[in-house]
Structures are given as structure tokens and as C-alpha cells.
């Protein structure tokens, strides 16, 4: 892998624990407001609305829309669906920003710091730049550069996002490796000529919805976590 120069990371689920973070914050809301819904239920419902909302942008039904705004649309829908009516606009706005406050997985900061000693490390997320910056600041994520679908005005898995990383750094696609916990993301990156590394996150959707983390033949690397990936890459 001597030609590898840039590691681009998916964020939600790969570097940060969205499910646990959202569940904990929702469970801290007064039970008179939450209508018997658990944080785990709420987190999964919110995330399940992500791809359908993003598809509305990719299909042209909606113009370019930031993830912050898509998250708010999904939030309004699930609050209505769950019969949660006790949050005012300020509280809903604060809850929507929970995506800016997601906790890193325990191995993430140490693993990224080691990888940074040898490679340029950046985000490649559908999250918007403000969200990713606030998250990095809070969680101590040591990025060299924050790249977002917002830069390319295209959401993953559009090839423009993966090839855009190579273009920004003026390198060949094979000199970039996407690191992600999602095979569909990695498959699209692989088709665009990038190297790929799969990171296992079996608890991404919580203990009630364990993920299959079986190896995939197209991935250059398969690691149990980001720290293990750093060891594989000699960092």
C-alpha cells in the first residue's frame, strides 16, 4: 500500500456512535414528554428516515438540502408519528443538533491519531460541514481536512463524492482509501477506483439490531475497529 496517501472516513456509525448518543440524549428528556418511546426506538426511527429523505434530493424532488435540514424534516415526522407533542421550537432545534454532539467510538480518536502520523486523514460524509466541524471539536477527532457531500453538492454514493477526494488532493483514485462500516458505501467507492477498508461496528444500530459484519472480497482491508486498522497499516 505504498501508493496510499489519503484515508477518507465515513462518519455516522463508522467513527461515531449515533445510536447510543441519540438514545442517551432522548432518554434524558422528561418521560411525560416522550410518550413511552425509548431512546433506542427513537434513534433507529430517526436514522431509518435518512436514506428516504436523501433520496428525495438525489431524485431531484428536493433541491440541494443540507443533512441538518433533512434531519429536521425527519424529526418532525417521527415526533408526529410517535405522538410526542411537548417539545417547543427551541427544544426541537436543540434535539436536532444532537447529530453535532455524537460521541466517538472508544477506539476512534486513538486510531485516527496513529493513522494521521502516516497518512492525510479526512472525512467523507453526507453530513454538512458545520455539523462535522462541531462534532470533531467536541469529540476531539483529529482530522487534517473536513470534506462533505456539501462540497460536491452530491450525496454518497454518487461517484462525484469519491472521485472528488482524489481531485481535491490532486492524486489518483487508487491513492485514496475509503474507510467505512457500510458495504454499500464501500462498494460505490470501489467502483470509483478507491481502495476500501471495512470497519466492523456490530452495535451501530444498538444491541437489539446486531449487524452482520462478515468480510467482503472487494475490500482491501477488514478491521475490527479503527485502532486495528492503524496497526494493519503500520501506524
Would you state the cell numbers that stand for residue 11, as one nine-digit string? Answer: 462518519
Q: What percent of the chain has pLDDT over 90?
A: 96
Distance, CA of 212 to CA of 200 (rounded, Å):
9
Q: Which CATH number fits domain 6-17+103-232: 3.30.565.10, 3.90.25.10, 3.40.190.10, 3.40.50.1000?
A: 3.40.50.1000
Decide if pLDDT at 160 tops 90. Answer: yes
Q: Residue 75 — φ and ψ, nearest 5°?
A: -60, -45
Averaged over 4-29, what is the pLDDT?
97
Decide if pLDDT at 178 tops 70. Answer: yes
Look at the alpha carbons of 148, 150, 155, 158 in this order and tell me if their dihedral is positive or negative. negative
The class that CATH gives domain 18-100 is: mainly alpha
pLDDT at 2: 60
Confidence of residue 1 (pLDDT cuts 50, 70, 90): low
pLDDT at 30: 84
- Measured from the Cβ of residue 24, the count of other Cβ atoms closer than 10 Å reads 15
pLDDT at 32: 85
pLDDT at 125: 98
* Closest to 16 measured CA to CA, from 138, 116, 158: 138
pLDDT at 26: 95
Predicted TM-score (pTM) of this structure: 0.95
Please write the tens of the pLDDT for every residue from 181-233.
999 999 999 999 999 999 999 999 999 999 999 999 999 999 999 999 999 99
Averaged over 53-62, what is the pLDDT?
93
Domain segments of the chain: what residues?
A: 6-17+103-232, 18-100
Three-state SS for the chain is CCCCCEEEECCECCCEEHHHHHHHHHHCCCHHHHCCCCHHHHHHHHHHCHHHHHHHHHCCCCCCCCHHHHHHHHHHHHHHHCCCCCCCHHHHHHHHHHHHCCEECCCHHHHHHHHHCCCEEEEEECCCHHHHHHHHHHHCCCCCEEEEHHHHCCCCCCHHHHHHHHHHHCCCHHHEEEEECCHHHHHHHHHCCCEEEEECCCCCCCCCCCCCCCCCCCCCEEECCHHHHHHHCCC
Amino acid at each position: 500500500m505504498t501508493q496510499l496517501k489519503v484515508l477518507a472516513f465515513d462518519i455516522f456509525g463508522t467513527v461515531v456512535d449515533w445510536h447510543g448518543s441519540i438514545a442517551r440524549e432522548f432518554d434524558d428528556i422528561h418521560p411525560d414528554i416522550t410518550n413511552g418511546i425509548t431512546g433506542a426506538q427513537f434513534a433507529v426511527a430517526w436514522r431509518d428516515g435518512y436514506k428516504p429523505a436523501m433520496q428525495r434530493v438525489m431524485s431531484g424532488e428536493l433541491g440541494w438540502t443540507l443533512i441538518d435540514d433533512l434531519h429536521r424534516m425527519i424529526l418532525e415526522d417521527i415526533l408526529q408519528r410517535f405522538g410526542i407533542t411537548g417539545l417547543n421550537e427551541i427544544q426541537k432545534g436543540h434535539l436536532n443538533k444532537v447529530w453535532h454532539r455524537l460521541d466517538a467510538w472508544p477506539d476512534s480518536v486513538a486510531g485516527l491519531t496513529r493513522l494521521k502520523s502516516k497518512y492525510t486523514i479526512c472525512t467523507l460524509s453526507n453530513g454538512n460541514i458545520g455539523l462535522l466541524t462541531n462534532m470533531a471539536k467536541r469529540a476531539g477527532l483529529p482530522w487534517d481536512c473536513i470534506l462533505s457531500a456539501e462540497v460536491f453538492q452530491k450525496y454518497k454514493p454518487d461517484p462525484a463524492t469519491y472521485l472528488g477526494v482524489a481531485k481535491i488532493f490532486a492524486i489518483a483514485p487508487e491513492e485514496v482509501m475509503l474507510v467505512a462500516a457500510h458495504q454499500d458505501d464501500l462498494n460505490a467507492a470501489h467502483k470509483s477506483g478507491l481502495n476500501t477498508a471495512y470497519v466492523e461496528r456490530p452495535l451501530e444500530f444498538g444491541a437489539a439490531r446486531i449487524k452482520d459484519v462478515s468480510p467482503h472480497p472487494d475490500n482491501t482491508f477488514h478491521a475490527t475497529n479503527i485502532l486495528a486498522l492503524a496497526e494493519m497499516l503500520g501506524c
